[in-house]
A and B are shown apart, each in its own frame.
Chain A
Amino acid sequence: MPNKSAGRRNSRPCRSVLYIPGNNPSMLQHAPVFGADGVLLDLEDSVQGREKDAALRLVSHFVRDTDFGNVIVTVRVNGADTPWFERDLEEIVPARPDAIRIPKCHSPESIGHADKIIGQLEKKHGLVPGSVKIHAMLETALGIERAYDIAAASERVEALTLGGQDLTADMGVQKTRDGVELMYARGRVVMAAKALSKLAFDTVWTDLNDADGLANEAKLAVQMGFSGKAAIHPSQVEVINEAYRPNPKELRRAFRIVEAADIAEREGKGVVSVEGRMVDAPVVTRAYSLIELGRLYGINKEADL
């Protein structure tokens, strides 16, 4: 097997991340069953100021006591520039979500600040240091331009996520259907994440009546190298998951590459060759992750194709 030192969650595909409003018990109690690989319980934009306390209490109980199975659990807290930020972290970190999504990250210092508080809380509550990850949300021009430094600011940063709504507003442009205005930001976020072997998540598609638009944008996200895309409604999850379905031809080749790699390893050969051609190590790694992805679609062996 290739080196999986990137961590357990990095090897578990997370194609779709569904936003769940933090003050909505009905959505929260169904969070694990919408088919999303990850859920994002939101304390920020979907919760009004006077209900912040109620949502925080609700989300912390749900994160503590719900069996989410394989679903990756992320909580979006309020920004560091709000009066709720530290209280959110104090309540959510001990509930042990997989990650905390921090909105409006402008600088490596903002990550350093959150990292320090989360680290102190892990210590206080006896959690493994570094176990609660940070997903840094980049949604300002400044944040995008500092993407690499933000991702590199702490080991705890597991993913960069693009916030297209706020970003287009900050740029003073309209979010359009083909998303040309976000191309640079998408490229920048993905490349910064890849350069540091971290995950990258694409922004939401807001028009619930335009499933074709969502499908196109999800395909673009796949093509550009995003690990996954956010969904704002359960109906979007399947469209996003479908966009990640591996190409059968490519998957067939992946099975052959992996088979050849296994043989090469058994025979103690350093070089993997398929159909007479040498295959480089990154290609073998990609073949393994493609096969892992295929499993999510019920494809476990070449004959399933």
Chain B
Amino acid sequence: MLERKAQAGTLESSDCLVMVEPSASPKFEYGGQNAAIYRRRVLGIIEEIAARYDGTASVRIEDHGAVEMTLRARIETAFERASGKE
């Protein structure tokens, strides 16, 4: 269950900043240098991770060139923090 607003990651090069908060309907905002290229792939990762939690989320990502492993780790951490598990 998502309970609160949370974030994970940084704005440093090769990293991304992920902000997650509970919302009435799913929202996705994706910014950064590669935003146009990787939008669909990132959305897929978010959907996969969000499915592990009850409730819908608004997710905002500022991507500074994160590889997929980093994106996954940051999104997972933000969701965990938002769910109050961390």
Contact = CB atoms under 8 A, between A and B. Distances in A.
Interface of A: 24-26, 28-29, 53-54, 57-58, 60-62, 65-66
B74 A54 contact: yes
17 contacts: A24-B12, A25-B12, A25-B69, A25-B70, A26-B12, A26-B14, A29-B69, A29-B70, A53-B77, A53-B80, A54-B74, A58-B73, A60-B73, A61-B72, A62-B69, A65-B69, A66-B69
B77 A26 contact: no
Contacts of B80: 53, 57
B25 interface: no
A60 B80 CA distance: 15
A54 B67 contact: no
Interface residues of B, number: 18
A25 B14 contact: yes
Given A25-B14, A25-B15, A29-B14, A57 B77 contact: yes
A62 to B, nearest CB: 6
B8 A54 contact: yes
B69 A61 contact: yes
Closest 9 CB pairs of A and B: A26-B14, A25-B70, A58-B73, A61-B69, A57-B73, A54-B77, A53-B86, A61-B73, A25-B15
Q: Most chain-A CB neighbours within 10 Å: which of B13, B69, B76, B80? A: B69
A53 B6 CA distance: 13
B77 A25 contact: no
B3 to A, nearest CB: 16
Contacts of A66: 69
Q: Is the interface of A mostly helix, strand, loop or mixed?
A: helix
Contacts of B81: 53
Interface of B: 8-9, 12-15, 66-67, 69-70, 72-74, 76-77, 80-81, 86
A58 B70 contact: yes
A28 B12 CA distance: 13
Given A24-B12, A57-B73, 7 more contacts: A25-B15, A53-B77, A53-B80, A54-B8, A57-B76, A62-B69, A65-B69
Contacts of A54: 8-9, 73-74, 77
Contacts of B8: 54
A25 B75 CA distance: 14
Nearest to B75: A57
B69 A26 contact: no
A29 B67 CA distance: 8
Contacts of A26: 12-15
B56 to A, nearest CB: 22
A65 B68 CA distance: 10
A292 to B, nearest CB: 33
Nearest to A25: B70
Nearest to B8: A54
A87 to B, nearest CB: 10
B36 to A, nearest CB: 21
A57 B76 CA distance: 8
Contacts of B72: 61
A53 B67 CA distance: 19
B67 A25 contact: yes
A60 B69 CA distance: 9
